[in-house]
Structure 1
Amino acid sequence: MTVVRDAAKAALKAQRIETPSWGYGNSGTRFKVFAQPGVPRTPWEKLDDASKVHEFTGVAPEVSLHIPWDRVDDYAALAAYAKERGLELGAINSNTFQDDDYRLGSVCHPDPKVRRKAVDHLLDCVDIMDATGSKDLKLWFADGTNYPGQDDIAARQDRLAESLAEVYARLGDDQRILLEYKLFEPAFYTTDVPDWGTAYAHCLKLGPKAQVVVDTGHHAPGTNIEFIVALLLREGRLGGFDFNSRFYA
């Protein structure tokens, strides 16, 4: 037991938690965001808050960015600003869910013009990774259908695979795609990346630089998350964790 305890303590001391930049913004519910005094207004101010969190905890030296919420003119300067505060810029998170064009999906959309727009955004995020020194492109897609017959389910998976392959080909040697999943959010009928198995299947097709992000809060009731983690570790495909709660599930 002493050996196990010591190993657990060593692992906890060595952990590095990456906080999301948007976590330093105004908070609320899915129905309203409540403005609060003193909340960061820019990516630079978010880094100021993140450096204080790392100062107090000692385990949060990285901050992930969200594009376009954290768009700046000079990403190299932002990375330097983070370094001055004892931080590193972590994953770059894309956004293909807010524009009206994405009502029927983004990389899975039946219109090639919309897919082109989405993929171009993802490629732009890789450019930002190059500028910031980030190693990870974090992908979550709100793509899905809301009723039977709205679209061809298999064809949507083909479009997803094709889009991911183009982005994967753009990655540098030391960069990764981290593919996230959510069981039932936000589509009512089918979600295009609903579970770890779907994410894992696409990552296998892409290659070793594509890995799965395990979301602790977005599984069917009774799902054994430890098993998922063990299998992905065994296959070398565990890219990280999203520590979401089950409150909404």
Structure 2
Amino acid sequence: MPDIAAVKAALAAQRIETPSWGYGNSGTRFKVFARPGVPRDPYEKLDDAAEVHARTGVAPKVSLHIPWDRVDDYAALAAYAKERGLELGAINSNTFQDDDYRLGSVCHPEPAVRRKAVGHLLECVDIMDATGSRDLKLWFADGTNYPGQDSVAGRQERLAEALAEVYARLGDDQRMLLEYKLFEPAFYTTDVPDWGTAYAHCLKLGPKARVVVDTGHHAPGTNIEFIVAFLLREGRLGGFDFNSRFYADDDLMAGAADPFQLFRIMHE
């Protein structure tokens, strides 16, 4: 018989880090639907996060997204979070919205664009220093849409160079978390398409580089719990984005499509 008390204790002891953007407006891939009462700035997002933590008891951390959560004084923002019973978690970078990144960011064929992207990542590390955050979370929309559009091997080399520069900037207690995504928006090649690519780059960088598993970023039929077990064994599992999927990269609510899969992942 299962030890129900132990299961309940484990669930009560878990700590979930909610993303700041989750407290904003949401919608579909094609439109964001506005609703009343949505936070207008990072401080109001923390107010909402504090309410979530008060109701659940398991969500004491909030990750920030730059530039969406830019403020003049990050130390003050961290102090405000502490007053609300929260901590600031991972700092998420954004190298996918500027027009300059149409052909990529850290993998872009033009050095000036790559320099801009790396500069943003280094800014995020500065914000980590100011907030006391441990983790820099990276997801790149870099890739190509057509064969011959760029050198696949060359893009991997540019990616490695950028990651190495940012990794060298990390403090002793800071980590780099590299996320992968099967596709979107790149339709021919994506520069970090799977856990193996992310793991290979992290392995070369060093022990402070870890892989993020988004449970919605896999091809149909992928055994995600195997990936989790492997990365745990290698000491390279950095964290999760808990999403679910029916068809592709749906980003549905965790466990929506296959609740038992979520159980299997947690079991590992």
| Alignment-derived partner of residue 209 in structure 2 | 210
Two-structure CA RMSD over aligned residues (Å) = 0.8
Distance in 2 between residues matched to 1:116 and 1:209, nearest whole Å: 23
Shift of residue 184, structure 1, vs aligned partner:
1.2
Match of 2:144 in 1: 145
Q: State the distance in 2 between where 1:98 and 1:34 align.
A: 19
Per the alignment, residue 177 of structure 2 pairs with 178
Aligned partners of 1:223, 1:170: CA distance in 2, in Å? 34
Provide the C-alpha distance between the structure 2 equivalents of 1:181 and 1:8, rounded to a whole number of angstroms. 31
2: CA distance, partners of 1:23 / 1:209: 27
Separation in 1 of the partners of 2:22 and 2:120? 22
Q: State the alpha-carbon separation in 2 of the partners of residues 8 and 155 from structure 1.
A: 48
Q: 1:180-220 deviations in whole A, cap 9, x for unaligned? A: 01111210100000000100000000000000001101111
Q: Distance in 1 between matches of 2:166 and 2:52?
A: 33
Q: Could you tell me which runs of 5 or more consecutive residues in structure 2 were left unpaired when the two chains were aligned.
A: 1-5, 248-268
Q: Distance in 1 between matches of 2:34 and 2:127?
A: 29
Tell me what 1:35 maps to.
34
Q: Distance in 2 between matches of 1:10 and 1:214?
A: 25
Aligned match of 1:221: 220
Identity %: 90
Cα deviation 1:5-62 (Å, max 9, x = unaligned)? xx43332222110000000001111111111110001000000000000000000000
Distance across 2 between alignment mates of 1:61 and 1:207:
29
TM-score normalised per structure 1: 0.96
Q: Distance in 1 between matches of 2:63 and 2:188?
A: 31
| Partner deviation per Cα, 1:118-146 (whole Å, 9 max, x = no partner) | 00000000000000000000000000000
Three-state SS of the structure 1 residue aligned to 2:211 is: strand
Q: Within 5 Å, which residues of 2 pair with 1:91-240? A: 91-240=90-239
User: Distance in 2 between the 1:73 and 1:50 partners?
Assistant: 21
Structure 1 Cα separation of the partners of residues 219 and 27 of structure 2: 25
SS of the aligned residue for 1:211 comes to strand
Residues matched between the structures, number: 242
1:247 to partner: Cα distance? 4.2
Deviation at 1:221, TM superposition (A): 1.0
Cα drift, residue 148 of structure 1: 0.2
Alignment match, 2:25: 26
Q: Distance in 2 between matches of 1:131 and 1:11?
A: 32
Structure 1 alignment gaps of length 5 or more: 1-6
Tell me, in whole angstroms, the C-alpha distance in 1 between the residues paired with 2:114 and 2:9: 45
